Amino acid sequence: MTHLRGKTLLASGFHMPERGTVDELTDALIAIGADGVIQSVRRPDEAGYEAEKRARSAEGNLVTLPTGSFLLPGLVDLHVHAPQYPQLGQALDVPLEVWLHQYTFPLEARYADIAFARRSYGLLVDDLLASGTTTALYFATIHQDASRLLADLCLERGQRALIGKVAMDNPDQCPDYYRDASPEAAIGGTQALIDYIHAHPDNEERLVRPVITPRFIPSCTDAALEGLGALARSCGCHVQTHCSESDWAHGYVLERHGMTDTESLDRFGLLGRRSVLAHANFLTRLDMETIRVRQAAVAHCPVSNAYFANAVFPLKAALEKGLHVGLGTDISGGPIGSMFDAMRGAIMVSRMLETGTDPDLPPEARSRQSNSRVDFRDAFYLATTGGGIALDLPIGRFEPGYQFDALAIDTTAENGTIRLWDDLDRGDAVLQKIVYTASKPNIATVWVSGRPVK
C-alpha cells in the first residue's frame, strides 16, 4: 500500500461531480498535498501535463496505478448502526418493532461490556474499509465508553467517521435495561461525546466528527428532543435520526404529535443543513419541500427498506425535487455491509417502484409511480458525490480542495468478479460493470485523506 500524501498519482478512473454525467479520467495526474487534500487534477490534453509528469517522476514522487485498475472516489455510507454488526443477516423475518425489542435492544445493551464492544467495533471498521467505505455515519449506543471507543478505533484505523451516542429516554418505547435515565442524561451524554471527539489528541484533522443522534421520535421524550435541538443550534454539529421509516413508526408520530416526522423534527430544531434523515419513505409533498428548504439530506436505504419499511422511497422524485440524497447500508436492518450492494439495491427497487409488482394487475395498473427508475450513474453518484453533499464535507469527487478518499478497483484480480472485454467495455461501460459486479477481492487499495487504510 502506497502513502500518497505529497505524491502525484497517475491513474485512470471515474467520478461524478454532477448528477447524470460520468467524468472519465484517463491517465490523469492527481496531485495530493501533505494534508491529504487534492491540489490539482491534470489531464493529458492540458498544458504542462508532460512537464509535471516528468518532474514528479524525477523527484520519485510519481505513483502509477497498475494497468487494469481504476480509481473511484471513496464510498460514503450514510446510515450504519455500528453495534448491530454481530446480528447482520439475522431476524429479518419479523416486524420492525419486534426486531427492535426482541433482538436489537438486547444486543445493543451488551456494549456496556467494553471488551465486547472492542471486538465488534474493530471488526466492523476493518470490514467496512476493506469494502471501500471510506466515510461512515454511525449510530453508536447509549454507552459513553463504547461510543468513545468507536471514535478511537476509527482514528486508529483511519476511517472518516461521524459518530453519535444514541439518545433514547422514552420509557414507553425503550426497555428499562437499555435507555437513558432522563432527558438530561440523553442530552448530557451527547454533549460529553461531542467534547471527547473535539478534544481527542489524534483528531487534529477532524477525521472523526460528533453527531447529535435522537434514535427516532418514538424513542425520545419531547424534553429530550427539545434539548437536542437546542444543542444542535448551539454547537453546529451534524444531526442524524430515522424519519418516517415504516408504517408503524410513521403512524406513531402522527398519533403522538399530530404531524409527520419531518414536521416534528423541524419543530424541535433538528432539521438543518447538516441533518441526515434515514429512510424517509413516507414523505408528503410538504415534507419534501421542507427538507429541501432546510437543505437537510435523506439517507436512502433500499435494501433494509425491503425488509422493514413497507414501502419504496421515491428516489428519483426526491432528486428531481432538489433534495440532497445519499445511500446507506443500514447495518443490520439491511443484511449488507457493502455500498456496492446498496447501489445495486437502489437501482433494483427503483425499477420495481416504476413497474409495480403485482402480476395479477394489468401493466398500466401495477404502479402509480411512472418514470421512477434510476440507473448505475445515479447510484454511483449517490454513493460518492451525493454522500459528500449530504454531509456537507469535501469528499466524493476528484477535484482540487477535496480530500483524497479513494479506492483502486483491480478488474484483473484473480478472485475478483469483474470480467472486462476489450472490444465491449469502454468508457462508462467499465464503470457500469464495476457497480454491478465488483466484490471485495476487486478492491485492491483504499485511501482516506491520502493514507492507505487497506
Query: pLDDT averaged over consecutive 10-residue blocks of the chain (454 residues)?
Result: 93 97 98 98 96 96 97 99 97 89 97 98 99 99 99 99 99 97 98 99 98 98 98 98 94 97 98 98 97 99 93 96 98 95 98 89 86 96 99 99 99 96 89 98 98 97
User: Can you give the pLDDT at residue 366?
Assistant: 86
- Residue 237: name the closest of 212, 214, 215, 216 by CA: 212
Domain ranges for the chain, please list them.
7-73+397-452, 75-391
CATH of domain 7-73+397-452: 2.30.40.10
Residue pair 325/354 in contact by the 8 Å Cβ criterion: no
Integer Cα distance of 108 and 38 in angstroms: 39
Integer Cα distance of 57 and 67 in angstroms: 18
List C-alpha distances in Å: 265 to 162, 225, 423: 20, 8, 53
User: Can you give the pLDDT at residue 64?
Assistant: 98
User: Can you give the pLDDT at residue 157?
Assistant: 98
User: Can you give the pLDDT at residue 1?
Assistant: 63
Residue pair 205/448 in contact by the 8 Å Cβ criterion: no
Three-state SS annotation for the chain: CCCCCCCEEEEEEEEEEECCEEEEEEEEEEEECCCCEEEEEECCCCCCHHHHHHHHHHHCCEEECCCCEEEEECEEEEEEEHHHHHHCCCCCCCCHHHHHHHHHHHHHHHHHCHHHHHHHHHHHHHHHHHCCEEEEEEECCCCHHHHHHHHHHHHHHCCEEEEECEECCCCCCCCCCCCCCCHHHHHHHHHHHHHHHHHCCCCCCCCEEEEEEECCHHHCCHHHHHHHHHHHHHHCCEEEEEECCCHHHHHHHHHHHCCCHHHHHHHCCCCCCCEEEEECCCCCHHHHHHHHHHCCEEEECHHHHHHHCCCCCCHHHHHHHCCEEEECCCECCCCCCCHHHHHHHHHHHHHHHHHCCCCCCCHHHCCCCCCCCCCHHHHHHHHHHHHHHHHCCCCCCCCCCCECCEEEEECCCCCCCCCCCCCCCCCHHHHHHHHHHCCHHHEEEEEECCEECC
Give the count of beta carbons closer than 10 Å to the beta carbon of residue 53. Answer: 18
Q: 75-391 belongs to which CATH class?
A: alpha beta
User: Can you give the pLDDT at residue 21?
Assistant: 94
